[in-house]
Amino acid sequence: MPMIQGQAEYERATGLEARFEELRRRAGLILAPVLFALTLAIGIPGLSGPANRLAAILLAVITLWVTEAIPLAATALLGPAVAVMLGLAPVRTVLAPFADPIIFVFIGSFILAEAIFVHRLNERIAFGVMSWRWVGARPARILLAYGAIAAGVSMWISNTATAAMLLPIGLSLLAFMEKETRISKSYGTALMLMTSYAATWGGVGTPVGTPPNLIGIAMLERYAGVRIDFLQWMMLGTPLAAVMMVVIFLYLNRAGRAGVKEAPGSEQLIRSRKAALGPWRRGEKNALIAFAVTAVLWIVPGLAPLILGSQHAVSQALTARLPESVAALAGAGLLFLLPVSRHERSTITWKQASNIDWGTILLFGGGLALGELTFSTGLAETMGKAITGLFPVSSLAALTFAAALFAVVLSEAMSNTAATNIAVPIIIAIAQAAGVSPVAPALAVTFAASAGFALPVSTPPNALVYGSGKIPILHMVRYGLLLDALAVILIPAMILLLAPWVL
């Protein structure tokens, strides 16, 4: 009977959510053109003609992103197109950001991730770690190992792919435990939420772990003239990811107590799944080689200045000749050169490679194009001065904490990629208007955009986990809001502490 009631509650919540989503989309389709037309017709006091036209576009774009009335990537294409039509800049200028070098980091890393996924290398890593004797059949250790795998894999491939890979493993483990032991329902909730939280938060450890990272890096370089290389990001992001993962584990382990000390048989289930993968295949080895080569090429240019000094000829040559985009493309290209067998001439086919997330790539390009226009039209400067006038923030610390709060709230209302596109240019403009360095506040936005823990819409892993039917929406909100609050405190505090040493 309780299971039937639980299913009925889930279906009722799902129905309400579906109706809300439909109303949200319809509202966006109406509100976006209305805001666009009113802003063009009436104008915003204090804005020049070009800045006002861009403000009209941004209001419409932000509305469409928040409501998801049309696909996010389609909105990202529509905004720059309208900007050209309204004469804000020539087409070559507006569309140039779609060929930004960071775009090719996305493409190369996505192709590498696709190869890892196609050859199931991620599953081998997951079952390999879960089968360690230390893990055994203890629920708390299973939760810890499961989260560590999700965070570790997500540092290098997309959080969506990581969650999609781990969710079936978690569901099968949970089904076995519920059948064979009297494990609590709260443990099932904790295990499912660990899938989402760890897959999302582990991605902050490297630039390629989640799209907001690359967006923040590109915008800091374009609008603030500050370059952060791969190794510098890892020196900042990995400790932050590790500390937050400890917090997540302690929280979920306490809130989701299993009620039993062991779940006998779970270790045999994991080992049988590992054995079913068989011996290492050539495709797995090739994917691992390509990934390892790319990782080395990403890290070495940042390591050389630490050892030889930034002015050394070798350091300067590596920085100039091995940017992250070239390393990513070289690694992806290697997949087409390494044969799997006499019949399979490459590790990945172009058809498989073309399955990468082109929507995220276009969303990034569109956000970068609109961000560029906010500075070239003077809208960013005007917005920065207006906001600092309304909310005077004179200290770096205050702005960094405010930026983290802004990003967390925004990422709960829309995708973290769209939130980063919107928030980073605004925060950089506010920092410049306030006369403080924009680096820490912009980094706070970038990291905090991945801290949308409370709603399915915030991140794809949240949506995947919620879609499993194992977590009612109120449980996700209740668990997530506390982590949101902790993130608002922890992220800016660690950035302010570590950034002066790393950057």
pLDDT digits (tens, 9 = 90+) for 368-400: 899 889 999 988 888 888 877 777 667 899 999
Task: Please report the DSSP string for 105-117 in residue order.
Answer: HHHHHHHHHHHHH
Average pLDDT over residues 74-100: 94
Residue 324 above 50 pLDDT? yes
**Which helix (H) or strand (E) element contains residue 478?**
helix 473-502
Average pLDDT over residues 83-89: 95
Q: With 0-12 CB in 10 A as exposed, 13-18 as middle and 19+ as buried, what is 17?
A: middle
Q: Residue type for 343, please?
A: H
Q: Which residues contact 118 (CB under 8 A, 6 or more apart)?
A: 283, 287, 348, 352
Whether the Cβ atoms of residue 54 and residue 88 lie closer than 8 Å to each other? yes
Residue 184 above 90 pLDDT? no
Q: Domain check: are 240 and 256 in the same one? A: yes
Q: Domain check: are 95 and 42 in the same one? A: no
Q: Domain check: are 97 and 142 in the same one? A: yes
Q: Domain check: are 412 and 267 in the same one? A: yes
Q: Domain check: are 210 and 142 in the same one? A: yes
Q: Domain check: are 118 and 249 in the same one? A: yes
Total domain count, the chain:
2
Q: Which of 78, 41, 48, 42 is nearest to 61 (CA)?
A: 78
Residue 2 above 50 pLDDT? no
Whether the Cβ atoms of residue 450 and residue 412 lie closer than 8 Å to each other? no
pLDDT at 338: 92
Q: What is the pLDDT of residues 203-258, one digit of tens each?
A: 999 999 888 999 999 999 989 899 999 999 999 999 999 999 999 999 998 887 87
Q: Domain check: are 172 and 56 in the same one? A: no
- Tell which of 88, 121, 152 closes a domain: 88
Q: What is the pLDDT of residues 262-296, one digit of tens each?
A: 777 777 888 888 888 889 999 999 999 999 999 99
pLDDT at 17: 66
% of residues, the chain, pLDDT over 70: 96
Q: Domain check: are 305 and 384 in the same one? A: yes
Which range is least confidently modeled, 60-74, 115-129, 253-267, 482-496?
A: 253-267
- Tell which of 53, 70, 88 closes a domain: 88
Q: Domain check: are 161 and 42 in the same one? A: no
2 versus 239: the higher-pLDDT residue is 239
Residue 3 above 60 pLDDT? no
| Domain containing residue 211 | 89-502
3-state secondary structure of 482: helix
Whether the Cβ atoms of residue 114 and residue 357 lie closer than 8 Å to each other? no
Q: What integer best gives the mean pLDDT of the chain?
A: 87
Whether the Cβ atoms of residue 41 and residue 501 lie closer than 8 Å to each other? no
Q: How confident is the model at residue 16 (pLDDT cuts 50, 70, 90)?
A: low
Average pLDDT over residues 328-334: 94
Which range is least confidently modeled, 101-110, 246-255, 439-448, 473-482?
A: 473-482
pLDDT at 445: 94
Q: Domain check: are 274 and 344 in the same one? A: yes
Q: Domain check: are 57 and 195 in the same one? A: no
pTM to 2 decimal places: 0.86
> Per mean pLDDT, which of 13-27, 108-122, 283-297, 404-418 is the most reliable?
283-297
- Tell which of 88, 120, 136 closes a domain: 88
Q: Domain check: are 198 and 83 in the same one? A: no
Q: Which residue has the tokens 């894999």?
A: 153
pLDDT at 216: 93
Residues 340, 188: Cα–Cα separation, whole Å: 39
Q: With 0-12 CB in 10 A as exposed, 13-18 as middle and 19+ as buried, what is 168?
A: exposed
Q: What is the pLDDT of residues 187-208, one digit of tens each?
A: 888 888 998 999 889 999 999 9
